[in-house]
Amino acid sequence: MSDEIRATTGDSTWFVQDRLGMFIHWGLYALPARHEWIRNYEEISNEDYEKYFQHFDPDLYDPDRWAELAAGAGMKYFVITTKHHEGFCLWDSKLTDYKAPNTPAGRDLLGPMVQAFRAQGLRVGFYHSLIDWHHPDFTIDEVHPLRNHPDRKKLNEPRDIRKYTEYLHGQVRELLSEYGKVDVMWFDFSYPPGRRGFPPPPWEGKGREDWQSAELLKLVRSLQPGILLNDRLDLTDDPAGWDIRTPEQITPRAWVTFDGQRVVWESCQTFSGSWGYHRDEESWKSTEMLVQMLIDTVSKGGNLLLNVGPTGRGEFDYRAVERLEGMGEWMRQHSRSIYGCTAAPEEFKVPRDCRFTYNPETRRLYLHLFAWPCKMIELEGMAGKIEYAQLLNDASEIQMQVSESSADHFDAPPAESLTLTLPVKKPNATVPVVELYLK
């Protein structure tokens, strides 16, 4: 495998420095509050889903507060669902009536959000669903809420996917023309029959031909030349068809590759088991787990896009706020082990229950200790390579010495190892970090 990283068409220089972003899934599905795919799971028709449109009134929506929480957690960019699969639009689109201004909310919800996050110094990303279960020309397929309707074939007769594609392209044009510089375009998702792991025909899905992905790609690149594009247009075989790989709800074992080459990548993860607000979902990750996920991702050369699903009244769930604040406290003292960092050179062997990140500009190596050892930790093969060591949370020195290797010494470390002498008590940090200055 080559250590060279695949070049991106969009500007990824900032992306590989910032490392941590906020994903926001917000739409009508916040009202039923039992998953953003509720229309699919419960096979809900447009008519039965209409009650949520009629009652969507986020009276406590405060985008400034959202942006403050994201910035406080150390996040450097955000990605918002402009439209999810349900088809509901957060902005005042000229191409549909199915939008926030026509609900009791009565206004564009996207513009103030973009303004608030920019004011906090965060870059802007737009998620946009390729799928639209509300649109009258979106043909019923195997993921559509009406897939099991007895009159599915008849319902599909008047539908024209080409008309829907024109609508899709028109909305993308609006988004990339009316909100200034957009740094990330995050499409979701393609499911072509017989490709990418989906069943072959007669199973019905959608891919590049349905979205007219090649033309959509040209549109995106022409309107926002430096934009970063994710990998869900079903164009992974086109070198210009994507910039970043986006593994979802998994922790890759190593730096993500494509055709044997390292790529720019981003892991998108939830606080719990749902992207949209889910009142009764209880599998919430702890702050410690989230911090470890961030570290592990950066140690493999990736970014972490961490999701929040606001409530129907427009607030972040209290459990999300607690975790954002907890991550922010850790980042306040340890962010330089994250920003600008990447995987460490392979010559540095990481100890058990630890992760290395590495800043190539400062030539500092960061040892993250997921389990606190008793008094000492051995850095194999690193004798003579470290100039100075300190705990990152308080800049207190960590003493070090070249390990002695002896045949009659029980469990002697390998030759050329460096021993770090640690305090007996774990520092008051979610994940302690030792900053190592290389010679």
What phi and psi, each to the nearest 5 degrees, are found at residue 80? -115, 140
E strand or H helix at 298, and its extent?
helix 287-298
Helix (H) or strand (E) holding 419: strand 418-421
Phi, psi of 240 (to 5 degrees): -95, 5
Q: What is the 3-state secondary structure (H, E, C) of 82-116?
A: EECCCCCECCCCCCCCCEHHHCCCCCCCHHHHHHH
Residues 315, 378: Cα–Cα separation, whole Å: 46
Q: Which residues 6+ apart lie within 8 Å of 425 measured at CB?
A: none
Q: Please report the pLDDT score of residue 409 as a whole number.
A: 52
Pair 418, 386: CB distance under 8 Å:
yes
274/65 Cα distance (integer angstroms): 22
Residues pairing with 187 in the sheet? 128
Please tell me the distance from the alpha carbon of residue 141 to that of residue 132, in angstroms, as a whole number.
11
Quick one: CA torsion of 406, 412, 417, 423, rounded to 10 degrees? -130
CB atoms within 10 A of CB 352: 9
Residues contacting 418, CB < 8 A, separation 6+: 378, 379, 382, 383, 385, 386, 400, 401, 402, 403
Residue 300's contacts (CB-CB under 8 Å, 6 or more residues apart) are 252, 254, 255, 256, 343
pLDDT score at 413: 66
According to DSSP, the residues that pair with 81 across neighbouring strands are 127
For residue 333, the tally of other CB atoms under 10 A from its CB is 18
Residue 175: exposure state from Cβ atoms within 10 A (0-12, 13-18, ≥19): buried
Residue 183 near residue 227, CB atoms below 8 Å: yes
Which one-letter amino acid corresponds to residue 66?
Answer: W
CB neighbourhood size of 104 (10 A): 12
Residue 191, SS3?
Answer: strand
Q: Which domains does the chain have, with CATH numbers?
A: 2-337 (3.20.20.80), 354-438 (2.60.40.1180)
149 residue type, one letter: H
pTM for the model stands at 0.97
Q: What is the pLDDT along the chain (439 residues), one digit of tens a residue?
A: 668 999 999 999 999 999 999 999 999 999 999 999 999 999 999 999 999 999 999 999 999 999 999 999 999 999 999 999 999 999 999 999 999 999 999 999 999 999 999 999 999 999 999 999 999 999 999 999 999 999 999 999 999 999 999 999 999 999 999 999 999 999 999 999 999 999 999 999 999 999 999 999 999 999 999 999 999 999 999 999 999 999 999 999 999 999 999 999 999 999 999 999 999 999 999 999 999 999 999 999 999 999 999 999 999 999 999 999 999 999 999 999 999 999 999 999 999 999 999 999 999 999 999 999 999 999 999 999 999 999 999 999 999 999 766 544 555 667 689 999 999 999 999 999 999 999 9
HSE on the CB side for 198, CA within 13 Å?
A: 19
Question: Which parts of 130-223 are beta strand (E)?
Answer: 184-188
> Do the strands 376-379 and 418-421 form a parallel or antiparallel pair, or are they unpaired?
antiparallel
User: What pLDDT does 388 receive?
Assistant: 98
Residue among 170, 216, 210, 186 nearest 84 (CA) = 186
Residue 396 C-beta-side C-alpha neighbours within 13 Å:
9
Q: How big is the chain, counted in residues?
A: 439
pLDDT score of 416: 86
Do 31 and 55 meet the contact criterion of CB atoms below 8 Å apart? yes
CA distances from 365 to 22, 240, 291, 344, 391 (A): 26, 34, 18, 7, 12
